[in-house]
Amino acid sequence: MALSAQSQQFLVSCEFAGQERVCRGRLFDPQGKPAGAEIPLFEGLLSCAEDPSLTSLHGGTIAVAWSCSRRSDPSSLWIWVQVASPEAGKVLGPPFPASRPASLKQSSPLIAPRPGGGFWVLWIEESASSAGTLWGRRFEADGSSRSPAEPLSTPGALQGRFRRAAAAAGPSGDLFVVWSGFGPDAGRQPEIYLQRIDDAGTRMEPVRVSEEQKKPSSANVEPALAVSSRGEIAVVWLRKAGPQLGWGRLLSPEGRPLGPELRLGTRSDTLERSIAVAAAGSRFVAVWLDLLRDGSEPPKTVARIISPPTGGEGKPFVVSEGPRSAGATRNPVALTAGTSEVAVYELHPSAKSSAEAELIGCRVPAQRPYSPDR
């Protein structure tokens, strides 16, 4: 599932149809009601198991990136892009490959807007030794290529075994990328790094976001980031050191840390997962799934407001609470819905069928008090 939002919201949902995984997009109004017909995406392609990535472009169009192969050649696992018009309810041409043909696995597609209506497409290319290299390519708004595919990672500081990467565009047009991997200053466990890339493709020196830990077994994984209207950056991630807990850090528009790491939650008896963050004006809202390790309470979707420069804005608060059954609440996704609020979407088991799930959404103001409106 991937989400994008302006005054309206465009949702891309993926599900299995027999042995194939198909994706469809649909426009929703600010009240969460369908505002257009479903749009089939990536027709004629076979998908891999990953979710797509999407971004809004100028003129109301949407660009979606996915890791797929041609139905006629299942071994052609490349990164593909499709541009659609949610308001018109149709795709704007067939999907086209963004990545270069390669025998190596290409996965984890990311897409982010560029100044003037174009977009970046990024992906991870894995070698036989499991080392990952981050690749990128720039496109114009009409899908024409602005540059050839090029490796954004360089030996040493950027090369590493990528667990996950994320990307977001700043108000000045710079692209910010975070990832979990090994750098020259990392130990035996992955750390979180951030790099700024301007629209010409010039790469700045990467910055280590996660702080050095006393425990050598502390693994920092699954980063996410957002950029505020003023250019400040919020990076959140999960740290596996005994219990899996969520952490975050604020950085300046230049990528300089504004302060120390911020522990997002307040409990130590939970297992946190599915962390995400979105910007609402000059503030951020981090969202994650909170599971008690002993299973004595239902899973909860929890949020915390992060306000630059210190990150302080009160304690975490519960957005929603699901039934105790396994998988009852999973994969919350934070989504910018305006200048002062964030929309949070979750998948819940359907009351009609145990094999189906329903998408449930609510809006969270980027300030307290909060009252759920589902």
266-288 per-position pLDDT tens digit:
877 777 878 889 888 888 989 88
Does this model's pTM top 0.75? yes
* Backbone phi, psi, residue 214, to 5°: -70, -30
- The number of helices, as runs of H, and strands, as runs of E, in the chain is 0, 29
Residue 237, token pair as written in the block: 């991630």
- 34 assigned to some structural domain: yes
Q: What's the domain count of the chain? A: 1
Whether 250 shows a pLDDT value over 50: the answer reads: yes
Residue 251 has pLDDT above 60, yes or no: yes
| Residue 142, in any domain of the structure | yes
Question: Does 209 fall in a domain?
Answer: no
- Cis before 101 (ω within 30): no
Q: Are the beta carbons of 128 and 154 closer than 8 angstroms?
A: no
Per-residue pLDDT of 15-46, as tens digits, reads: 767 666 778 888 877 666 788 888 988 887 77
| Residue 334 predicted with pLDDT over 80 | no
Residue 15 belongs to a domain: yes
Do the domain assignments include residue 320? no
pLDDT in tens, 162-183: 557 889 998 888 999 998 877 6
Give the model confidence (pLDDT) of 111-125 as tens digits. 988 877 789 999 888
Look up the CATH number of the domain holding residue 77: 2.120.10.10
Whether residue 224 contacts residue 275, with contact meaning beta carbons closer than 8 Å, is answered with yes
User: Are residues 48 and 19 in contact, defined by beta-carbon separation less than 8 angstroms?
Assistant: no
Q: What range defines the domain where residue 29 resides?
A: 1-151
What are the pLDDT digits (tens) for 50-95? 677 888 877 788 888 888 776 666 666 788 898 988 888 899 988 8
Judge whether 268 lies within some domain: no
Q: What confidence score (pLDDT) does residue 319 get?
A: 81
Residue 329, domain member (yes or no): no
